[in-house]
Structure 1
Amino acid sequence: MANAAAPDASAGTGDLPRHLQRWQRRLDDLAAHPERLRLVLHPVVDVAAGRVAGYEVLSRFAPVRGDAHGPEEWFAAARALGRAAELDALVLRAALPLRRRLPHGTFLTVNAAPSSLGEDRVLELLGAQDLTSLVVEVTEHTDCDAAALAGPLAVLRSRGARIALDDVGTGHSGLLRMAVVRPDVLKVDLQLVRGLDGDLVKRSVVRFLGECADRLDAWVIAEGVETPAELDVLRSMGVPLVQGFLLARPADRFAPLSLEARRLLGAAPAAPPGQQETPAATGRLARRTKTCRTVADAVRAASEDPAPVVVLDELDVPRVLVLPGERPGAEPRVREVASTLAPETAVPEAAARAVSRPAAVRFDPLVCTDATGRYVGVVGVEDVVLDLAAAHEGGGAARVAGAASGRGVPA
């Protein structure tokens, strides 16, 4: 997966061009003094809830021998020298302990190049620990065989991590990579967000990416939001998570939203014509069911009482759904919980998500979780349909599903 054009990291410094020789020395110096790396945290904002949903870890590098360079230059030089995995590992080693101080109900996002995820030093570092509440963001700076990512990403998902694709819509984060990786989060590139309030084509592309996210059961994060007009358009389109200087700048701590940001989010955007102002949330349809810690206990419970049973892990995150047999005396059906629904998801979006599932599970209950991923309840597909019918009879216009994922936050 590594870039074949990169020089061998073990090559002698004298064999490199002069500018790369300088970068080789800078990287050597950083490896010897990792304390010169500084991390800052850029909030990701849940626009519906008006709160910080997560924090992206960004790197800042101290000047070396009087030379100051931005993070883009550092990572570009590391790629050119075949040392991208080394630099990614150094950043990850500093970033992962931050999860111990992560505010309740938020997630932490870390970045890694596709080539780095195939390197043992990075994969072993990530795979050696529980990655719940961590989002691993696959950066788009280098091309790679998307299929080669499947193995490393499966390891990370098995440890509880969610996978994000960075800068979707530009660079190497194309449709093929999206189809193969099946990301949990799509980050819409800031070039598509910048000025989209006055650009119909950009809005159409963002809407299309939202439709892709719905089919993938993924979240959408819009990057680079800098004006109230951009924010209002994104909110009216149903984009749930945004990131940008308008609402928050990177800081050296887990900063909450400022009063000004909360004020901006307090004014609801105007809904496009033909859409209801405030779509009903699915969470009010959720009902709590019996829960167990093991599949065996859940199967016994579903056999004794024909009702859904949810298997929770030690953090109360739903992992398995056990359903009664389809006829009396039949064995209960065991389903892995592959995706969940946030309570604030609009009912039409929940309906669209339910019917887009494979036929064998299309009418299984939807599992609802809070912002931390903890179990809230199950929502019956029949309840969703009845609620839509009642809204139609009452004159409410259904919101167009697919404008963007409204699933909530990946905690």
Structure 2
Amino acid sequence: MVTLHKKLFTTLFSLLLLSSAAKAADYEILYRAKVHPDSDVARVEIRLRGEQLPNQLTLSLDPERHRSVTAEHGLRLDDNSAVWKPREPEDSLHYEFVIDEQKASGSYDSLLTEHWAILRSDKLVPPIAARVPKGLEGQAELQFLLPEGWSVAAPYPTREEDSARYLLSDPGRIFPRPKGWLILGDITSRQDIIAGTDVRVAAPAGQGDRLQDTLAFIGWNLPAVKAVLPGFPDQLLIVTAGKPMWRGGLSGTRSLFMHADRPMISGNRTSSLIHELIHVGTGISGGKRADWIVEGLAEYYASAILFRTGGMSDWRYEQVLEWKTDWAREADTLFARRSSGPVTARAAIFMHRLDQALAKATDGAAGIDDVARALAQDRGRVSLAQLKEIVAELAGDAVDVDALIAGLENAG
């Protein structure tokens, strides 16, 4: 009887999967990008195929980077947008994307060289607002057309029959599009499964001296990150390169970029790499005057995770907190438009004090990890009001967020 029930369950589950797959394939979306070092642009095609297609797509363009937008019909161009009404059963839109993006310092966020390219797929394909008939779902893939000898590292699984085509997922979006860092060209990489996440560290060929070190560092610390954030993606790409790329770290969907010269643990015993891992794991952004919440959590864990995994002693961790407290005094307030430097240090100290206050109020039953998990639940924009609501759910009136903030302001 048990065997019969098991077979019945297996059959029903298989039918459910087939039904879901059929539903997901109402129409197909193919993003195709042709990249060649002889050109300064990627030539991009968005091709739709199906008996029924979205009624209208509106692309939010960067006029300096998205240019020469064309379609056979149904296209209207405004200053910063392209409105496209595709026709069944198959239609396509084309444009050029300028890959190089240089900062005022002279370094690059995005760059195409003779041998490789580093860029973000959510810049390659701009934000798209879609009007879609109710219940219609699209299945999206990303394909690259590259010179011979070039390969790709992207934060998505590939099709078994075609390693140059990536299967995209964009939960919560009506019209899925690619997001996250990419590295193309003559590249080198190291890869492993760590705490259930497929981790790949990639760099241009000749710049991969620290790939194994980075993979080992992730193996040491990612389990602790995932203990805080169990919703951490099951795929992670870390792209690294040296000059002339920007000398910093920046997270993306299922991915991050870290300059090759950045230490994994800095002299002040924080880790930029862990900081960015927290951004990847939470997937949150700051609402109005709330960027300090996002950056404060990341900077708090940049040291706390190292402490938890044995990367420093108790007294060394106390030194870190003292250093951040001193630096925080240079900030006038937490509520800056963008959190960086002293503001982020002040926000990290707030998170530390909130952790202590929650532990005291709940006899150790709650702490900052619970706050981080709650904020990351929807992977969206966060606010001070949301933070207060979470704290109230954990500790009632026993922890006063406003008083903690005021304490920091007075200490400054």
TM-score interval, normalised by the smaller of the two chains: under 0.3
Specify which structure has the higher proportion of helix: 1
Q: Which has the higher contact order (CA 8 A, sep 6+)?
A: 1
TM-score by length of 2: 0.26
TM-score by length of 1: 0.26
